[in-house]
Structure 1
Amino acid sequence: MFPQAVTIAGSDSGGGAGIQADIKTFQERRVFGMSAITAITAQNTLGVHAIHPVPVDILAAQLDALKDDFKITAVKTGMLVDAAHILTVADKLQHFSWGKLIVDPVMIAKGGTSLVTAEAIDTIRAKLLPLASIVTPNIPEAEALAEMPIETTADIQKAAQRIQSLGVQTVIIKGGHSADDEASNDYILDGAISYWLKTARIDTPQTHGTGCTFSACITAELAKGATIEHAIRTAKDFINDAIRYPLNIGNGHGPTNHWAYGKEHQI
């Protein structure tokens, strides 16, 4: 059976993030990708210009249609808009046998636009994280989920413990938003085991969709049966290459290069 995975997220008209980035990543990792769209966005590399939530009943219908026809072994969430959409997703996933759930708590766009409501953050904490195997916040998102400021490595570790206490097994706090100019280090708390994945920081504005791509790669690897640690390490390598060899598309925060990993880095 060919591995199959689902992304539940918003559509990025610019193609660099959201379901577009997720499905490109699934394809590169040889996983058949499907989607349930939560919102339609009008955006490009310069920012988000408009957001139109998909009606909740249509979101539910998308999920039911996928459940009725496919053998899905991993699922990820991205932009979930508001509490009503999150509750719909949580209710459906609670009753589906779709394997591991990876939550990318998309809250703020690269240009600074808020993508969820305050009530939605509380609903993610209360309803979605208890169902999740992995959550992948960046530092601002981790601050919101842990309800604490993060300024030091000790803060990162404490925040991960707080988030894990909400019911999720594995917490990955990504280091892209850290104040360290030399490195981008991710902290992983997997059950009782913790470790850092350390890489040199790449100085580039071509980073649109990095979080989506990273979590999608984890999802793809888990859909194929990889262990959580192997999936995380593969995703770290995948996103590093995607950033290191940019496409230089657009006039703002350009998209990452989903073709780059394990190839000759040429289009």
Structure 2
Amino acid sequence: MKEYIAVLSIAGSDSSGGAGIQADLKTFAALGCYGMTVITATTAQNTKGVTAIHSIPPMHIKEQLLAIMDDIKPKAIKIGMLDRPEVVEVLVEILSYYPQIPIVFDPVMVSTSGFKLIQDETIKAIRQKLFPLVSLLTPNMDETSILYGKEVNNLESMKEAGEYLLQELPEAILIKGGHLDESVIRDLLYSKSNGLKVFKSDKINSQNVHGTGCSLSAAIAVGLALGKDMEDAVDFGRDYVNKAIFYGKDIITGNGNGPLNHFFNPQKQIINEMD
């Protein structure tokens, strides 16, 4: 008998398919894993932005998670959008029973268009209750600024924030530097076991970067599910996302910031030529 490598996404739904649960499932599938979901909220959004959020009742979130853990236990878990402290409490109540499962937490707080996706009191609950369970935290610079309490806008402040926030985490934090106006992207991985590791890659000129953070955290979770150590899992995830951005840079999806090309193998895609 054989089994799939199962990976779970606990996150919000993106109706346009580019981020959130939808991006995670595409990433899991593209990397050969069996994806499962616990939906924390649904959003009305497209490539131009978020217009509304509908919160899923905490009890139903709990029921979703219990159903998964009772049957198909994941090899790794990715957590994304958590918009209320009650949701944090539900997740911590259940996930604390599974310390052996690595958790990658992408702290989604503000959409690319500036729409706030989280309540202020939720941040406090996350830091106090969820952080102790997280294997890897993956904030971008805006999210890092919120968590650090100071503006993070350059490499030096990224380093300072990483050292500070690592004290609240059991294992590691990856601060993503994609928002810096530089030709080379630097992502900083701070871990308690290996210190600082800087990952570098050339920035790809593309407006199709919707869902980048979701896809990266999902791909890293896949790497951990495959048994890779933290540095190799981050490298694995970054390589996938870089290729997904590159092969999606010339494709038009919607009228705003389009998604990555999650299934970027050119021989397996049907892409219409536009006039």
- Shorter-chain TM-score bucket reads over 0.9
Q: What SS does the corresponding residue of 1:199 show, helix, strand or coil? A: strand
Q: CA deviation at 1:97?
A: 5.1
Counterpart in the other structure of 1:12: 14
Counterpart in the other structure of 1:162: 164
Q: CA deviation at 1:266?
A: 5.2
Q: Deviations over 1:91-110 (max 9, x none)?
A: 21112356101000001111
Distance, in Å, in 2 between the alignment partners of 1:131 and 1:68 is: 20
Distance, in Å, in 2 between the alignment partners of 1:128 and 1:148 is: 22
Q: CA deviation at 1:265?
A: 8.4
Amino acid of the structure 1 residue aligned with 2:264: A
Counterpart in the other structure of 1:112: 114
Matched, 1:189 2:195: no
Of 249, 254, 264, the residue aligned with 1:250 is: 254
Unaligned ranges ≥5, structure 1: none
Q: What SS does the corresponding residue of 1:149 show, helix, strand or coil? A: coil
Distance, in Å, in 2 between the alignment partners of 1:237 and 1:29 is: 12
Q: What SS does the corresponding residue of 1:197 show, helix, strand or coil? A: strand
Counterpart in the other structure of 1:212: 214
Q: CA deviation at 1:168?
A: 3.5
Counterpart in the other structure of 2:138: 136
Q: TM-score, normalised by structure 1?
A: 0.95
Distance, in Å, in 1 between the alignment partners of 2:99 and 2:229 is: 18
Counterpart in the other structure of 1:95: 97
**Preserved contact between residue 245 and residue 265 of structure 1 (Cα < 8 Å):** no
Distance, in Å, in 2 between the alignment partners of 1:136 and 1:187 is: 10
Counterpart in the other structure of 2:263: 259
Counterpart in the other structure of 1:80: 82
Q: What SS does the corresponding residue of 1:2 show, helix, strand or coil? A: coil
Change (3 A) 1:16 1:161: same
Q: What SS does the corresponding residue of 2:7 show, helix, strand or coil? A: strand
**Preserved contact between residue 38 and residue 80 of structure 1 (Cα < 8 Å):** yes
Q: TM-score, normalised by structure 2?
A: 0.92
Of 36, 39, 42, the residue aligned with 1:40 is: 42
**Preserved contact between residue 99 and residue 133 of structure 2 (Cα < 8 Å):** no
Change (3 A) 1:156 1:130: same
How many pairs does the alignment contain? 265
Q: What SS does the corresponding residue of 2:36 show, helix, strand or coil? A: strand
Distance, in Å, in 2 between the alignment partners of 1:255 and 1:248 is: 9
**Preserved contact between residue 12 and residue 19 of structure 1 (Cα < 8 Å):** yes
Counterpart in the other structure of 1:55: 57
Distance, in Å, in 2 between the alignment partners of 1:152 and 1:250 is: 32
Q: What SS does the corresponding residue of 2:185 show, helix, strand or coil? A: coil
Question: Which runs of structure 1 show a deviation greater than 3 angstroms over 4 or more consecutive aligned residues?
Answer: 263-267
**Preserved contact between residue 22 and residue 213 of structure 1 (Cα < 8 Å):** yes
Q: CA deviation at 1:190?
A: 1.8
Q: What SS does the corresponding residue of 1:184 show, helix, strand or coil? A: strand
Moved more, 149-158 or 136-145: 149-158
Distance, in Å, in 2 between the alignment partners of 1:214 and 1:265 is: 22
Distance, in Å, in 2 between the alignment partners of 1:168 and 1:3 is: 25
Q: CA deviation at 1:179?
A: 3.1
Over aligned residues, Cα RMSD in angstroms? 1.5
**Preserved contact between residue 31 and residue 224 of structure 1 (Cα < 8 Å):** no
> Percent identity, aligned pairs only?
38
Unaligned ranges ≥5, structure 2: 271-275
**Preserved contact between residue 7 and residue 36 of structure 1 (Cα < 8 Å):** yes
Q: CA deviation at 1:167?
A: 2.0
Amino acid of the structure 1 residue aligned with 2:113: G
